[in-house]
Amino acid sequence: MYQAIVFLPLLAAIAAGLFSLREQHSAAAFVTIGGVVTSLLLSCFAFVHIALGSNALTVEVARWIGSGDFQAHWALRFDTLTAVMLIVVTSVSACVHIYSVGYMSHDPSRARFMAYLSLFTFAMLMLVTADNLVQLFFGWEGVGVASYLLIGFWYHKESAHKAAMKAFVVNRVGDFGFALGIIAVFALVGSVQFDDIFDAVPLLVDSQISLFGMSLPALEVISVLLFIGAMGKSAQLGLHTWLPDAMEGPTPVSALIHAATMVTAGVFLVCRMSPVIEYAPVALDIITIVGASTAIFAATVGMTQFDIKRVIAYSTCSQLGYMFFAAGVSAYPAAMFHLTTHAFFKALLFLGAGSVIHALSDEQDLRRMGGIWRSVPVTYTMMWIGSLALAGFPFFAGFYSKDMILEAAYAAHSGPGMLAFWLGCAAALLTAFYSWRLLIMAFHGTPRASDEAMAHLHESPNVMTLPLIPLAIGAIFAGWVGYDMFVGHNYTAFWGDSIFILPQHQAMEAAHHVPTWVKLLPIGLAASGVFLAYICYRLKPELPGKIAGQFASLHRFFFNKWFFDELYDKIFVAPAVKIGKGLWLRGDKGTIDYFGPDGMSAMVHRISRSLVQIQTGYVYHYAFAMMIGVVILVSWYFSGFGGR
């Protein structure tokens, strides 16, 4: 049964891929939805058995890579952490699968789309059930490829395949760190299997790695390397640039991959590796600071964007920052709790936005929306629910999880924790602000869409609105239902051995005993954010323009996403090609070939001519040049490589 959870989506993806060859779209939809829904049902059983019943287990599947001590096998590990992720992944995936039938109904290659969605689900499930780091890496790169395929799904669009490639390459930068982290773990522990690693780590606290001429604590190095991987996948500050561009993909993709599941893989990785990271205090501080910076950075950018999907994408980026700084203050359960609630309300927001875009004939610009709330009542309600949950209004899902994170950050009583708390509070204000900015601009005010689009205005079909309902239920109740289980006083009973927190890291317990103002502040800030948005976009619509004019440079800074793309283009992209060209023309052709084969054939010519001219002294030139060459070579050799 446990294997079926993971492999059914794979079989469905293969079948759908074959159906797509013959353009059998309904068959593809049927088989993929069947696969993922079955997987969801089985996941529910697994959750009850494993998480609630505390029966962690590992299912061996097959051998994979084995060379000496380096043994990585295909095996599925089911513990509470996995079980939570199973529920999140399969439920959101099921909703998105069904929604896609409606959303993609006019697309000529929708069967291929369904196949990719199921392939993604399989890779994500492999990621969360991995029992060793290498298999996790398999899922990690697998979701990356699925994301690449889906962002670039409309491959005719230049912007789409450009964004797809950017996503893959930026993720690869993170994976560079991740891969080195895996190797460092193996070199230190002699195994890549989680159980072996976690057993060995407490004994290795004092071990050192000499790196860059310094002797560094091995566990810190490993944790930072793994976190670099997490930063790539979870779009944290510095490696975030791919996520907004990834919105070029169809909206269901944004909901599934770039909001609910794949981008949270980094958070999952940090929680999964908590037994290692707990012993790396510097790495924890780095995680906290990066998370907090991302939370505020993305929020500032999100409030200036006009593309409805990009606003939500930056919001995702920002919320992932919350999860990371929660993990950074050792409140892993809080991070996982927010991951779960966020999956529901963010998928809801994205699918709602997709419904708006669909209703307005593929319009995505907030400046060309407005005045449509009466025509799309279901979508409108859903967006309200999603926004209330996101902003953290009482008794919605985000309220429980986000407050828990802020309380934990406050309760950590550390410098980075305090920084994270205040930045998190500021981001909470901005979150509410941009959420209601979006709501007001999209649904209220005077209609600004083209007449043609307004004429076609319609509520989405049932196949698109019905999947929103389970997500909305999750966005409303997930926090209330999950609070005691995930982060309540007895949270250790639920998480079991799947999350490890050192006894001296008290943020989780202390979070329940923070001053009342800490508990109330986020709500107050959220309410003020809504109020501000109401003033700016409803009462005085001329105000935002004025403010932007007043603080032109700051606005430009935010609007251009802090100029990360321009910077990277200048530092990395343009020089790389230039250097490549230079090496090719000056290195390969100008030097190696010039002195090598081309030079040699030319020399034969010249020598035959010079033979007659020996007396004139030309030969001395050659002899002299050769001597110098030999001297340089020999001295270079003995100074450089000779003295090993």
Partner 1 sequence: MSLGISAVLGVVNMLSSWPLLSVIIFLPLIGVLFLMLIRGDEQVVAANSRQVALWVSSFAFLLSLFLLWGFDPVATGYQFEEKAEWIAGSGITYHLGIDGISMPFILLSTFLTPLAILASWQAITHRVREYMIAFLVLEVMMVGMFASLDMLMFYLFFEGVLIPMFLIIGVWGGAERVYAAFKFFLFTLLGSVLMLVCMLYMYHVVGTTNIVALSGYDFLPAVQFWLFIGFFASFAVKVPMWPVHTWLPDAHVQAPTAGSMILAGVLLKMGGYGFLRFSLPMFPDASEYFAPFIFVLSVIAVIYTSLVALAQSDMKKLIAYSSVAHMGFVTIGIFSLNEQGIAGAMFQMISHGLVSAALFFCVGVVYDRLHTREIGAYGGVVDAMPRYASFFMFMMLASVGLPGTSGFVGEMLVLVGAWQASYWVAIFAATGLVLGACYMLWLYRRVVFGRAEKPEILELAPLNNREYVIFVPLTILVLWFGVYPSSLLDIMQGTVLDLLEISGAGTATQTALR
Q: Is 478 in the site for partner 1 (CB under 8 A)?
A: no
Under DSSP, the state recorded for 333 is H
Calpha distance 56→58 (Å, rounded): 7
Size of the site for partner 1 (CB under 8 A): 57
Residue among 12, 16, 124, 184 that touches partner 1 (CB under 8 A): 184
Calpha distance 336→425 (Å, rounded): 19
Q: With beta carbons less than 8 A apart as the criterion, state whether 121 and 89 touch.
A: yes
Options 97-105, 337-345, 559-567, 588-596: segment touching partner 1 (CB under 8 A): 588-596
Dihedral over alpha carbons 486, 488, 492, 497 (to 10 degrees): 10
Residue among 2, 186, 242, 268 that touches partner 1 (CB under 8 A): 186
Nearest-approach distance from CB 576 to partner 1, in angstroms: 6
Q: Which of residues 378-437 bind partner 1 (CB under 8 A)?
A: none
162-181 footprint of partner 1 as x/- string (CB under 8 A): x-xx--xx--xx-xx--xx-
Options 204-212, 315-323, 352-360, 500-508: segment touching partner 1 (CB under 8 A): 204-212
Nearer to partner 1, 78 or 186 (CB): 186
3-class SS at 519? Answer: helix
Q: Is 636 in the site for partner 1 (CB under 8 A)?
A: no
Q: CB under 8 Å to 168, separation ≥6 — which residues?
A: 144, 145, 147, 148
Calpha distance 42→61 (Å, rounded): 18
Q: Is 183 in the site for partner 1 (CB under 8 A)?
A: yes
Question: What are the backbone dihedrals phi and psi of residue 626, each rounded to the nearest 5 degrees, phi first?
Answer: -65, -40
Q: Is 62 in the site for partner 1 (CB under 8 A)?
A: yes
Q: With beta carbons less than 8 A apart as the criterion, state whether 409 and 274 touch.
A: no
Nearer to partner 1, 488 or 599 (CB): 599
Q: How many residues does the chain have?
A: 644
Residue among 81, 95, 134, 269 that touches partner 1 (CB under 8 A): 134
552-571 footprint of partner 1 as x/- string (CB under 8 A): --------------------
Beta bridge partners of 209: 216
Calpha distance 120→117 (Å, rounded): 5
Q: Which of residues 66-95 bind partner 1 (CB under 8 A)?
A: 66-70
Q: Is 614 in the site for partner 1 (CB under 8 A)?
A: no
Residue that the structure tokens 């019905």 belong to: 466
Residue among 484, 566, 569, 593 that touches partner 1 (CB under 8 A): 593
Q: CB under 8 Å to 321, separation ≥6 — which residues?
A: 236, 237, 290, 291, 292, 293, 294, 295, 296, 297, 298, 427
Tell me the torsion sign for CA atoms 560, 562, 563, 569. negative
CA 315 from centroid of its chain's CA atoms: 13
Options 140-148, 195-203, 303-311, 423-431: segment touching partner 1 (CB under 8 A): 140-148
Nearest-approach distance from CB 584 to partner 1, in angstroms: 4
Token pair for 428: 């909470």
Nearest to 152 by CA among 161, 142, 162, 165: 161
Nearest-approach distance from CB 633 to partner 1, in angstroms: 12
Q: CB under 8 Å to 612, separation ≥6 — which residues?
A: none
Tell me the helix, strand and coil percentages in the chain, rounded to 5: 75, 5, 20
Residue among 145, 457, 463, 619 that touches partner 1 (CB under 8 A): 145
Nearest-approach distance from CB 573 to partner 1, in angstroms: 9
208-237 footprint of partner 1 as x/- string (CB under 8 A): -xxx--------------------------
Options 137-145, 383-391, 442-450, 555-563: segment touching partner 1 (CB under 8 A): 137-145
> Given the rule CB under 8 A, which residues bind partner 1?
62-70, 134, 137-138, 141-142, 145, 152, 155-156, 158, 161-162, 164-165, 168-169, 172-173, 175-176, 179-180, 183-184, 186-187, 190, 209-211, 576-577, 579-581, 583-584, 587-589, 592-593, 596-597, 600-601, 641, 644
